[in-house]
């Protein structure tokens, strides 16, 4: 991983995490609030966008997972790529794919507060 840039748009309540800034990316919606950016040629994670970040943290602290857009709806090769990306760093530091592969939990609220995330960036 070359760069890690974390920014937060307070007005829009959007958290942007950029793992790489030197790549073009495709975007895939994992959930209404979670967008994954990845380079389909190198199969590397480029970034993660979380919309409604404070709401997502509150939801997470209640112990409720997010309903993941079904990976089975994706073409099998793409589903395999996304599953692989979710199960390895850097994504595995921030998101966790449920065993049923239908739910997603974030690790952000349990391990970091927003000020800690921004200070670490």
Segment 46-89, tens digit of pLDDT = 999 999 888 877 777 777 777 777 777 888 898 889 989 999 99
Q: Which residues contact 88 (CB under 8 A, 6 or more apart)?
A: none
pLDDT at 1: 47
Two structure tokens written together for 95: 């998101």
**Phi, psi angles (nearest 5°) of residue 66:** -85, 140
Contact 33, 49 (CB under 8 A): no
pLDDT in tens, 79-121: 889 989 999 998 888 888 877 777 777 766 555 565 565 555 4
Question: Model's pTM, two decimal places?
Answer: 0.82
Q: 103, 8, 3: which is closest to 59 by C-alpha?
A: 103
């Amino acid at each position: 991983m070359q760069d890690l840039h974390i920014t937060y748009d307070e007005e829009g309540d959007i958290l942007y995490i950029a793992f790489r800034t030197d790549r073009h990316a495709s975007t895939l919606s994992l959930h209404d609030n979670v967008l994954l950016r990845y380079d389909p040629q190198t199969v590397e994670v480029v970034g993660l966008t979380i919309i409604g970040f404070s709401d997502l943290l509150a939801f997470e602290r209640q112990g409720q997972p997010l309903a993941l857009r079904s990976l089975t709806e994706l073409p099998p090769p793409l589903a395999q790529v996304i599953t692989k990306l979710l199960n390895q760093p850097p994504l595995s530091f921030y998101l966790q794919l449920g065993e049923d592969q239908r739910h997603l939990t974030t690790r952000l609220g349990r391990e970091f507060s927003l000020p800690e995330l921004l200070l670490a960036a």
